[in-house]
């Protein structure tokens, strides 16, 4: 419902007015359509595979049809791929998530196998109406959920059994210090996995600060880090934090 979608609009400077009240549902639909249209343009500028926006009239979006003839492309969850195609589509998708975050400045915020289309190993991201700015108050929490969903889907033995853990994928998406992404991925995907690596534990529920101003009690956090609290990794995603500062955490 549009009431539930308020959380994706609140906190974004692009939609400072939020949704109109329920007494004006047309205004709500129009705002959501505008949001999806602008997000699609962001993806196009960043080179992220997605439907191409052709027009926006009132609350109606016109975009390219993704399919073969008059048959729409299957969702990723329904795709039947070879082992090599699963691996290739995984690479494409995690690169797209990283590009969305670092270049398009967006987090999908509802990414799963249900809103990704597949044509062989090629993927297309759809349903970006709820995508939020990378500095949205809940952006990193949404990103963590996206990474968790994608990892859960791809890590099945029949797809990409050595897929990164959700935590590792989150780090890949947010790490601005990676200079050669291809080399990084080759090293990452070829190394032997630690059985405990996928046990993200407290990280899945940990509070993730978006900016330094979100750190309420740094002295307490420093103490807990020294005591072995794994939440320290969450701080590495703080926007603008230099690599030297990350390594010091």
Burial label, 146 (beta-carbon count in 10 A; 0-12, 13-18, 19+): buried
Overall size of the chain counted in residues: 249
Catalytic residues: 110, 127
C-alpha torsion sign, points 147, 148, 153, 154:
positive
Residue 54: its H or E element: strand 53-57
Residue 98: its H or E element: helix 83-102
Residue 62 DSSP SS3: strand
Instruction: Say if CB 103 and CB 44 are below 8 A apart.
Output: no
DSSP 8-state code for residue 59: T
C-alpha torsion sign, points 62, 68, 72, 75:
negative
Instruction: Say if CB 77 and CB 114 are below 8 A apart.
Output: yes
Torsion-angle region of residue 118: left (phi > 0), alpha (psi -120 to 50) or beta? beta
Interacting residues of 241 by C-beta distance below 8 A, sequence separation 6+: 212, 235
């Amino acid at each position: 419902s549009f009431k539930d979608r308020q959380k994706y609009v609140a906190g974004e400077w692009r939609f400072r007015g939020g949704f109109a009240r329920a007494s004006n549902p047309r205004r709500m639909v129009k705002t959501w359509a505008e949001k999806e249209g602008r997000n699609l343009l962001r993806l196009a500028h960043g080179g992220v595979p997605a439907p191409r926006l052709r027009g926006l009239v009132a609350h109606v979006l016109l975009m390219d049809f993704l399919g073969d003839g008059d048959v729409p492309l299957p969702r990723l969850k329904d795709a039947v791929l070879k082992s090599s195609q699963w691996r290739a589509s995984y690479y494409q998708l995690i690169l797209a998530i990283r590009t969305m975050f670092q270049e398009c400045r967006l987090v999908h915020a509802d990414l799963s196998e249900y809103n990704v289309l597949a044509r062989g190993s090629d993927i297309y991201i759809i349903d970006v109406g709820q995508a939020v700015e990378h500095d949205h108050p809940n952006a990193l929490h949404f990103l963590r959920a996206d990474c968790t969903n994608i990892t859960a889907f791809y890590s099945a033995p029949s797809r990409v059994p050595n897929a990164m853990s959700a935590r590792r994928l989150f780090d890949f998406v947010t790490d601005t210090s990676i200079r050669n992404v291809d080399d990084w991925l080759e090293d990452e995907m070829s190394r032997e996995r630690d059985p405990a690596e996928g046990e993200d534990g407290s990280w899945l529920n940990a509070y993730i600060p978006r900016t330094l101003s979100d750190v309420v009690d740094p002295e307490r956090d420093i103490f807990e880090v020294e005591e072995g609290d794994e939440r320290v990794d969450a701080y590495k995603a703080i926007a603008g934090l230099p690599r030297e500062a990350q390594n010091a955490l």
